[in-house]
Amino acid sequence: MIIIKNDLEPFSKLLSTVKEQADDITTLNATLDSLSLEELERTKAYFSGTGTRTSFHQLRAVIIGSFIAGMMIFILNMFQEYFFVAVVAFMFLLACVIELFRTALTFPVKTSVSLAYARGKYDRVVSLIDIILAERYAEVRKNSMKS
């Protein structure tokens, strides 16, 4: 999505207006209906983005750490009479538990919740834009067939 420098300020104003109105569907619908096809497509491209609702990397670390920690507990119980295996298993278990606590304590919960809420608003905007674009493209197609 390339935007000419002269269009940046109006586009940023449009985006801030849409963000503010994303909670009220009727106002948002009226605002989006007043936009041209090009503005709708730009707005959709901006709000579509690649954001996720949950932090996959944090969740992945917790799942992997839990699995490995469970394995290490099993190995520690199974081979506790062998000193070397028990020490290595205990070290891995300790490393996994420390990593899990580090992940749990450093996870930015408030930031992630606000991002998830914003992502939900953006998804609502994108789905509404999809509906409006489908209607407008149907009108354009209908008008071009009449001509």
CA dist 18 and 110 (Å) reads 23
Residue type, 105: L
Predicted confidence pLDDT, tens digits, the chain (147 residues): 566 667 778 888 888 888 888 888 888 888 888 888 888 888 888 877 654 445 566 677 777 777 877 887 787 788 778 888 778 878 877 887 787 777 667 666 566 667 667 777 888 888 888 988 999 888 888 888 876
SS (H, E, C) 75-128: HHHHCCCCHHHHHHHHHHHHHHHHHHHHHHHHCCHHHHHHHHHHHHHHHHHHHH
Tell me the domain boundaries of the chain.
5-51+111-146, 56-106
Query: What tokens were used for 138?
Result: 């149907």
Query: What tokens were used for 82?
Result: 């062998």
Residue type, 117: Y
CA dist 72 and 79 (Å) reads 10
CA dist 20 and 55 (Å) reads 25
Q: Are 33 and 119 contacting, i.e. CB atoms less than 8 angstroms apart?
A: no
